[in-house]
Amino acid sequence: MLITCPYCGPRDLAEFTYQGDANRVRPDPASTDHEAWYDYVYQRANPVGDHKEYWQHSGGCRSHIVVVRNTMTHAVGSVGFAREHEERKSAARHKSGEKA
């Protein structure tokens, strides 16, 4: 599988480290809602189709990226910087009135 790093271009999967699901929303760190933290830590979806994932180009420029990967075919649909993904998520939460 090839992942196209926004800085370095197409690179082999061996240069990257999987960092987790990019769709999950972390509870407020000050929250004492045990159910919310349990769900965040232990509950995992097993999606079929396109899925957003955090990766780090650990064998290259070390940038954190968001990869949209099809879980059936492993085809990479798009790649972008994680920082930009987080900014869009934050703006959407702010627009909807949700707390970060």
pLDDT in tens, 6-28: 999 999 999 999 999 998 888 99
The per-residue b/e assignment along 8-43, b for 16 or more CB within 10 angstroms, e otherwise, is eeebeeebbeebeebeeeebeeeeeeeeeeeeeeee
Q: Each residue of 63-89: pLDDT tens digit?
A: 999 999 999 999 999 999 998 877 776
Q: Is the pLDDT of residue 91 over 60?
A: yes
Domains of the chain: 2-25+45-96 (3.30.2270.10)
DSSP state at residue 15 = G
Q: What is the pLDDT of residue 97?
A: 61
Question: What's the mean pLDDT in 55-65?
Answer: 97
